[in-house]
Amino acid sequence: MTSTPLAQNQAITINRPSATSVGTIVWLGSEVMFFAGLFAMYFSLRANAPEIWANDSQILDVQFALINTLILVASSFTAQFGVFAAERMQPRATGKSPLKWGLVEWFFLSYILGAIFVAGQVYEYAMLVSEGITLSSNSYGSAFYITTGFHALHVTGGLIAFLLIIGKTYAAKKFGHYEATGAIVVSYYWHFVDVVWIGLFLIIYVLK
C-alpha cells in the first residue's frame, strides 16, 4: 500500500528538527567563540606576567572551588533528569520519591544548586578582595574577575531560564511538545555553561 502525499508531508514535518533547538545550538556556537576569546585573553595576560600569576594564584582556595564545581556539575545531571521527565510528558511529580519527580521538581533542584554555585563565587570574590586582589589590582585580578564574572552572568541567565520554564509549566493547561522543547533548549544552555566552567576551573585553579 503506497502512502498518500498528505501522509508523506506529515512524516516530513514530524521528523524536521525544532527551529528553537537549531537556533539555540547556533547561538551557543557564537558563545563558544566568546569564551574562546576570554581564554585567549587569560593566557595572553598570564604569559606577559608569570611572576604575578605565580604569586597571586597561591591565594586561591582550590578545595572550595572544587566543591563549588561539583555542585554545578551535579546541577547538570538534575537538569538532564528534568529533560527525561519532559520527554515522557511528566510535568509534576507522581509520588514523593525522586524517581517519580517531574520536570518542575528536577528543574527547581537544578535552580537551587546553580544558586548555591553563584553564592559560592560571590563568597570567593569577597575573600579575594580582602586579600587585595581586585579587578584593577593587576593583570591577574582583571583576568580572573572578567573570565569568572562573565561565566557567573551566564549562570544567572540560566537560573532565570529555569524559573521561566517552571512558570510556563505551571501556567500551561496541558503539558505538550512546546513546553518539553523549552525545557530541552534550557538544558542545552545549562550543559554548555557547566562545560565552560570545567574548562575555567582547570585553567585557573589547577594549571597554576
Residue type, 79: A
Question: Under a CB-based contact definition with an 8 Å cutoff, are residues 155 and 114 in contact?
Answer: yes
**Mean pLDDT computed over 40-52:** 93
Confidence class for position 16, pLDDT limits 50, 70, 90: low
Give the start-to-end residue ranges of the domains of the chain. 18-206
CATH fold, domain 18-206, is: Four Helix Bundle (Hemerythrin (Met), subunit A) (1.20.120)
Quickly list H helices, the chain: 5-15, 19-48, 50-56, 62-87, 103-130, 139-171, 177-201
Predicted local confidence at residue 207, as pLDDT = 85
Amino acid 208: pLDDT: 67
Of 142 and 13, which is predicted with more confidence? 142
> 57-74 pLDDT, tens per residue?
999 999 999 999 999 999
pLDDT score of 32: 87
What would the mean pLDDT of 181-198 be, rounded to a whole number? 95
Say how far apart CA 151 and CA 153 lie, in whole Å: 5
